[in-house]
Structure 1
Amino acid sequence: MNVASPTATQRRPLAARRAPVAATVVAAFAVLAALGWWVHGNPRPVGFDEPTRHWLVTHTDSVVARLLLALTDPVLTVGILVLISIGALVVRAFDVVAIAGLAPLVGLLLESHVLKPAFDRRFGLAEQLDPAVLEAGYAYPSGHETGLAATTTVVALLVLRLELRRGPRRAAVAGLVTWTLLGAVGLVGNNFHYATDTVGGICLGTGLVLATALLADAVAARRAARPPAGQFT
């Protein structure tokens, strides 16, 4: 039985412009490390943390803040990634499986078991939290924001891969960026994280997905360059 070859859309690289994407990956990990060094072992706000938190708490309605918090709900973000991964498996788009399944999983494991203990930053506003909802613990980088940034970056790459007009593509990417930022607003405005925690989460989620996309493209290009089985060069 013959297996249908991938569509042109599936064959298109995930990161069509490799140099800017690689530069973004380097910048994201550099910011992640720099902020981690800045907040290491410090449970109190630093730099723009307190001004940002104060402004958001003062100017954001509590109902709106709760709605924004739902944007980072793991049930939502993980559900989107699982659906994308299943669809990609069905059409044998294994590069998409890598960015939607592997990269976010690595990111969440990395932030939970490596980065948070290493940076040792605990949320210092425990008195602001409802103990029944959350106990103060490791805060940097934010796991919720890592998951959201990974999800929106995956969707953005897939949108940019489609044959769409420039206007709709830009609008879709702008909407995804807005979703990512509003999720951070919800976390900070509800006293679940400092602003620096969410920036670290955005850097980690975005950087890992883009790095995985570059790697998946390199593997796909190498496989495409191989001669078919039985063909000699």
Structure 2
Amino acid sequence: MLQDIQAAIPLGFFLAFLIGPVFFVLLETAAIKGVKAAISFDLGVILADIVFIAIAYLTSFQLLENLSNQPGLYVFGGMILVVYGLITYLKKPSREALDPNRLKVKKNNYLSLFVKGFLLNFINIGVLVFWLGLIIIVGPTLDNDPNRLFLFFGVTIGVYFATDLLKIILAKQLKRKLTPRRIFKIKKLLGFILILCGIIMTVKGFLPKDKLDIQKGIEKINTERIK
């Protein structure tokens, strides 16, 4: 059990620093809207990961094969990110947006931030493929024991969330230096990043099927390790 925990800790830390749309939106939310708002958003992200892990565990090999045959899912998710990024990038600030008081998040906004975090992570089919591949790799090393798998992924998610909390606290310190003009520039940068991530995901959907075959990729990695 101790070995499982030791293996899960660096993985959770690594996941917290994967560069993607969620990473940047989390930092932007913490810096502009505060710690509680960012935690609400992050809890939605975590819930999406838990749902993905559950789906991956229950239907791993069959679902992996189906995803390989449905590259259109990448295109769909990518297009959603592109549209969301365009809206964020092109949206012009209103007079209310220039009001410093807008940086305070009302309680009734936390639920919407939670849902936003969940959906932003859930539409990224690449996250599901990642968890599928991870279960296929890690499962045999844990003897496919449900208790060991639960412990491993529980620790992974726990470390992931704890690291996110540190990122949120650090990003919150930037709020003192933020002006309405800088906030506007941050949002435009965030929109550009989302567009870029969406384009990358969409391109994956047009790649040849063998490029999306995660199982072959895993077998190739294992072969290289043996060599």
What range describes the TM-score normalised by the shorter chain of this pair?
under 0.3
Higher helix share: 2
Q: Which has the higher contact order (CA 8 A, sep 6+)?
A: 2
Q: TM-score normalized by structure 2? A: 0.28
